[in-house]
Chains A and B, each alone.
Chain A
Amino acid sequence: MIEFKLPSLGADMDKGKFLEWRIKPGDQVKRGDVVAVVDTSKAAVDVEIWNEGTVYELIAEPGVTMRVGTVMATLLAPGETPEAAEAEKRTRPAAVAVSVQAEAVPVTAVAAPVVPGERRRVSPVARRRAAELGVDAESVAGTGPHGAVTLEDVERAAAATKAAPAVPAAQLDKQAEMRRAIAAAMSRSKREIPHYYLSERVPLQNATLWLQAENARRGLTERVLMAALFLKSVALACETYPDMNGLYRDGKFEPGASVHVGVAISLRQGGLIAPAIHDVQKKSLTQLMQDLTDLVKRARAGSLRSSEMSDPTITVTNLGDQGVESVFGVIYPPQVALVGFGRVAELACVVEGGLRIIPAVTASLAADHRVSDGHRGALFLAEIRRLLQQPETL
């Protein structure tokens, strides 16, 4: 079956008003025949057809304005039967609108290092304002492009010597709004999810020694934190115990296709969010460190992508940094588990029958009893503990 579409009739034309047909169903047409009249910005123009065939169905209505490319009629190719045409019409997929979405390239202001000795970059207006306020423009920390000192920097420096800076109002209600969101999620979690809690002490002798050796070989920018080992161990354990990794919705559990770990990040002015690092089980520790660094930076700058916020399949909280020994968190609905790691500290442990002082951490699990039970939870924590004894395999 042949589709006759409104052709482009000129450089600046994207629409046209169809006036009348010069053919009727059943007519034979050949290349170059005039089949319709279309009104354009200049005048009515005869429109040709460039196919051979028999007119089958006239779709366009006279007087209707349509975009170039709109199907106006269908024709039977030479020798084609109406039945074949009908059959083909049913199997023809709906025209899929292909929209090429330009990937928005995040533009991050790169603060170039201030080369010592080079004249400080101070914008002319900042230089003038500094003179008025008696501030030494050269010594003000610059937040402008390439570390330049801007008017705002000078005024902030001047104000700093007087009163403590007030938190801008806009920031206040953003915090309140976040507080409300966290409160709603937590109370829903407590209402709907039957939590059970387990904890496990995990020796980190091997992990700590391996990390020190590994970091000694690496430059500062590639250094690995213990947090990365925790994330990878949880992700690998999820592969063995998939009932910890997924979402509970509309009364049934959907296991996660991959392990997207929500990382709990505290925001400086208060508030906590847990955006996801995707496919943690497939990523190297180096890659995880890069993802973690980038995620924290963007979380605190408030420029997270919506996909990262919405689809973690399990969450890990690492409050140990703040000196708490063990953490019993609240699961983020609709997830079904949350693993917490306390402070890495020197603990007395019995190792092969002897009492030894070694670095260790308390790993805790809060899980959804509708999906798994204590026995599965214990095996899951034991698997995390086993994995952390072989850091080189993570």
Chain B
Amino acid sequence: MSVISYREAMRQALREALSRDERVFLMGEDIGKYGGTYAVSKGLLEEFGPERIRDAPLSELGFVGAGVGAAMGGMRPIVEVMTVNFSLLALDQIVNSAALMRHMSGGQFSVPLVIRMATGAGRQVAAQHSHSLEGWYAHIPGIRVLAPATVEDARGMLWPALEDPDPVVIFEHVQLYNLEGECADAPRVDIASAAVRRAGGNVSLITYGGSLPKTMDAAGQLAAQGIDAEVIDLRVLRPLDTETIAASVRKTRRAVVVDEGWRTGSLAAEVMARIMENSFYDLDAPVTRVCSEEAPIPYAKHMEDAALPQAAKIVAAAREICGKS
């Protein structure tokens, strides 16, 4: 047990995977000599060599497709797409090759591929580098989508993702890399269920990834105002853990979904639909959500903050749903 950063946790996970299985190799832009845009893979090139830590040209479609082919060819590739923003170039290979392959081939080929990508905003890198599109990937049957929001999940999720015979996409929010936290040396975590990060009885705050710290902060403020909020960390965006969501709403009868994606057609919308389908008779108030404003993320700090979900917005939504606005 020791206190490490989210970044360090992911690096340990990569080193563990590369050491345990010689089929594993890492491929991506600037992951070798440069050590990774977010310094996650620093030191791995020196330790494992250029054959297994492969700096790729700026050809996302090319090397993600190569990752799919190598996985079908017997390897266990980890492909790092620098950020979700550049993954748009590789969507065809992720959807039409990786996700479809098994079903379309009548069950003949699995694609044991892990794709990691940074996501989210908050570093004033403006509209083209600040997307939060986890909801797109969570829409596609054939892939599993993970959003580690704690240091322990960052350390523990990679290995079971590699063991999964089907493609797994892991989203790492840029604001989490500097997060510090307690973490066991080799924690065993599952990649199927959501987690209750704070128990409560008055309202369920349901969120994932980079929005978890803001939501926990909001829950703290609400406690001081006499509202006992329960915080659910989805952890797995596909398939959604509907049982944990339903159990929480059955208890609290109110739900606020916090999602950094844009409101229309967002993952929050899917979570709300599942609550309506499974827990309609448990509801004492309409389910609400806190999402990004429907505009490209602006560069200026005050504008970016206004666009993104914030603790204050979460507190306000919770108070209103509890009839205390």
Segment 128-164 of A: residues with Cβ below 8 Å from B: 148
> Chain B residues near A124 (CB, 8 Å)?
280-281, 283-284
Residue A122 is within 8 A (CB to CB) of chain B in the complex = yes
- Say yes or no for A187: interface residue by CB 8 A criterion: no
Q: Interface size for chain B: under 10, 10 to 19, 20 to 34, or 35 or more residues?
A: under 10
Q: Which of B280, B281, B283 gathers most chain A CB within 10 Å? A: B281
| A124–B249 alpha-carbon span in the complex (Å) | 14
- Enumerate chain B residues within 8 angstroms of A206, measured Cβ to Cβ: none
Residues of B within 8 A of A148 (CB): 281
User: In residues 141-198 of chain A, which contact B (Cβ within 8 Å)?
Assistant: 148
Q: Does A70 contact B (CB under 8 A)?
A: no
A127 and chain B: residue at smallest CB distance:
B284
Cα–Cα, bound, A121→B283 (Å): 11
B 258-287 binary contact with A (CB < 8 Å = 1; else 0): 000000000000000000000011011000
Enumerate chain A residues within 8 angstroms of B283, measured Cβ to Cβ: 124
Cβ-closest chain A residue relative to B282: A119
* Shortest distance from the beta carbon of B271 to any chain A beta carbon, whole Å: 18
B247 to chain A, nearest CB (A): 14
CB neighbours of A127 from chain B (8 A) = 284
By a CB distance below 8 angstroms, the chain A residues around B281 are: 121-124, 148
Q: Please, which residue of chain A has its CB at the minimum distance from the CB of B284?
A: A124
Residues of B within 8 A of A121 (CB): 281
Kindly report which residue of chain A lies nearest to residue B250, judged by CB atoms: A119
Name the residue of chain B whose CB is nearest to the CB of A122: B281
Q: How far is the CB of A128 from chain B (nearest CB, A)?
A: 10
> In whole angstroms, what is the CA distance A124 to B284 when docked?
6
- Which residues of B (103-153) have their CB < 8 Å from a CB of A? none
| Closest B residue to A149 using CB positions | B281
Q: Report the minimum CB–CB distance from B230 to chain A (whole Å).
A: 19
A155 CB, min distance to chain B CBs, angstroms: 19
- In Å, the complex CA distance between A124 and B285 comes to 8
| B280 neighbours in A (Cβ, 8 Å) | 123-124
Give bound CA distance, A374 to B283, whole Å. Answer: 71
Most chain B beta carbons < 10 A, residue from A122, A123, A124, A148: A124
Inter-chain CA distance A167–B277, complex, in Å, is 35
Q: Within the assembled complex, what's the spacing in Å between the Cα atoms of A121 and B280?
A: 10
Q: List 5 A-B contacts (CB under 8 A).
A: A123-B281, A124-B280, A124-B283, A124-B284, A148-B281
| Known contacts A124-B284, A127-B284, then 8 further A-B pairs from the complex at CB < 8 Å, ordered by chain A residue | A121-B281, A122-B281, A123-B280, A123-B281, A124-B280, A124-B281, A124-B283, A148-B281
